[in-house]
Amino acid sequence: MIDRNIESKLLEYASYYPVVTVTGPRQSGKTTLCKKVFPDKRYISLETIATRDYAREDPHGFLEEYRQGAILDEIQQAPQLLSYLQTDVDENPVPGRFILTGSQHFALSASIAQSMAGRTGILHLLPLSFDEIRRFPSAPDALLEAMWTGGYPRILDQQIPPQIWLEDYLTTYVQRDVRQLLNVGDLSAFVSFVRLCAGRTGQILNLSTLGADCGISHNTARAWLSVLETSFLIWRLPAWHTGIRKQIVKSPKIHFLDSGLVCCLLGIQTPEQLRHHPLRGAIFESWAVSEVVKQRMQAGMQPRLFHFRDSRGLEVDLVEEDGDQLILTELKSGQTITGQFFAPLEKVASLILPDPRFSRVQTRVIYGGEEARASASMAVVPWRDIKYRKE
């Protein structure tokens, strides 16, 4: 397995906290990562029924057996264990004793917040960034192939056709996680909802329309969307409107965090089909946003990312707060740069600069081409060279 960019941050957190928690979607590589970084720690999977029952029924005895520490995998299967773990690490706060992994969902989030506050460092492991994907011998080298393949490690490591693996992944996710999280009587309705969300990736979220198209209520659509968000399948990108006195669209955008999953949900069966698909631009936008999200999380940072749109149609795809600087980014899947890309960036930058919180506004275009350009006020960044920090 390849090295993951988050490894150094995981080791750093393990030198601070007695417990480090690694969360993320299923099959993002959490178990492989923790075993690789901590090869001397005992590994216990709470997916195993006997082990899970032992942890639930005799938590004191369970933790006594692993007093020297361990990797506890899929901790959401025994969330009540965290209360006992809190007492244990308070008595023996040696840094890095326990490494917890879990597929992110409501029960795990609530348990961590209640029992482990101040005792655990939390890292989020998402599917592979393109920087990580390039470490595989068979890595895709063209944009459309990279978008179509996505970033789930097993696809690249085992060279499994993406459509086969992703369809199985979706089925497993719905049948396992959704049944645990929601009382969904008709799972096919939830799958239809996910497919409708895929068709809206990179677009402004309208819960009422989304619910109506799926035949569910506004509140049900909100609850189902929260499950996708908390499972790290989608990212809700809020609107940025601080300090600008204009009529601003304040609804968030939704972005899927894996473009391969979007292609699977939309029935895009080859990279060539993606080339002429009407949502190619929106899928690229979500791919690029997910790259920024992944890179910031790999660095242990909480992404401060937004989009901007006013009532007259002036918009910027991605607004990043980076200390006292603001980075405005336009995202274009085409390989040709035109002057039209820069006008909205310059106009929004002129609206922001009077804000005393920001000493500088940086603007850039990320596009589907290969040539980089830079000037004092503008950068043109090829798709394969996205960086979370300013150049």
Is residue 114 in some structural domain?
A: yes
Using CA atoms, how far apart are residues 365 and 381, in angstroms rounded to an integer? Answer: 6
| Residue 310 amino acid letter | D
The pLDDT tens digits of the residues spanning 133-149 come to: 999 998 999 999 999 99
Is residue 35 in some structural domain?
A: yes
Number of structural domains the chain divides into: 1
Query: How many other CB atoms are found less than 10 A from the CB of residue 71?
Result: 22
Is residue 49 in some structural domain?
A: yes
Is residue 156 in some structural domain?
A: no
Going by their DSSP bridges, the two strands 305-309 and 325-332 should be labelled as unpaired
Is residue 285 in some structural domain?
A: no
Cβ 3 vs Cβ 157: under 8 Å:
no
Using CA atoms, how far apart are residues 343 and 365, in angstroms rounded to an integer? Answer: 11
| Residue in 143, 197, 134 with CA at minimum distance from that of residue 170 | 197
pLDDT of residue 391: 38
Using CA atoms, how far apart are residues 261 and 199, in angstroms rounded to an integer? Answer: 12
Is residue 280 in some structural domain?
A: no
Is residue 254 in some structural domain?
A: no
How many degrees, rounded to 5, is the angle at CA 141 between CA 137 and CA 144?
Answer: 135
Using CA atoms, how far apart are residues 287 and 282, in angstroms rounded to an integer? Answer: 9
Q: Which helix (H) or strand (E) holds 194?
A: helix 187-198
97-125 core/surface letters (b: 16 or more CB in 10 A; e: else): bbbbbbbbbeebbebbeebbeebbbbbbb
Is residue 14 in some structural domain?
A: yes
Three-state DSSP state, 265:
helix
Using CA atoms, how far apart are residues 260 and 62, in angstroms rounded to an integer? Answer: 40
Averaged over 246-250, what is the pLDDT?
74
Three-state DSSP state, 49:
helix
pLDDT of residue 184: 66
| Residue in 52, 53, 1 with CA at minimum distance from that of residue 30 | 1
Would the pLDDT of 214 be above 70? yes
Averaged over 173-188, what is the pLDDT?
72
The domain that holds 23 is classified in CATH as 3.40.50.300
Q: Which helix (H) or strand (E) holds 99?
A: strand 98-103
| Residue in 146, 134, 112 with CA at minimum distance from that of residue 19 | 112
Predicted structure pTM score: 0.92
Would the pLDDT of 317 be above 90? yes
Would the pLDDT of 106 be above 60? no
pLDDT of residue 252: 94
SS3 for 303-367 is CCEEEEEECCCCEEEEEEEECCEEEEEEEECCCCCCHHHCHHHHHHHHHHCCCCCCCEEEEEEEE
| Residue in 303, 280, 281 with CA at minimum distance from that of residue 291 | 303
pLDDT of residue 197: 96
Out of 75-89, 111-125, 211-225, 361-375, pick the least confident: 111-125
Residues contacting 374, CB < 8 A, separation 6+: 380, 391
Q: DSSP characters for 135-149?
A: TSTT---SHHHHHHH
Q: How far is CA 342 from CA 240, 348, 366, in A?
A: 19, 10, 11
The pLDDT tens digits of the residues spanning 254-310 come to: 999 999 999 999 999 999 999 999 999 999 999 999 999 999 999 988 889 999 998
Domain interval for residue 105: 7-124
pLDDT of residue 178: 74
pLDDT of residue 245: 58
| 208 or 111: which leads in pLDDT | 208
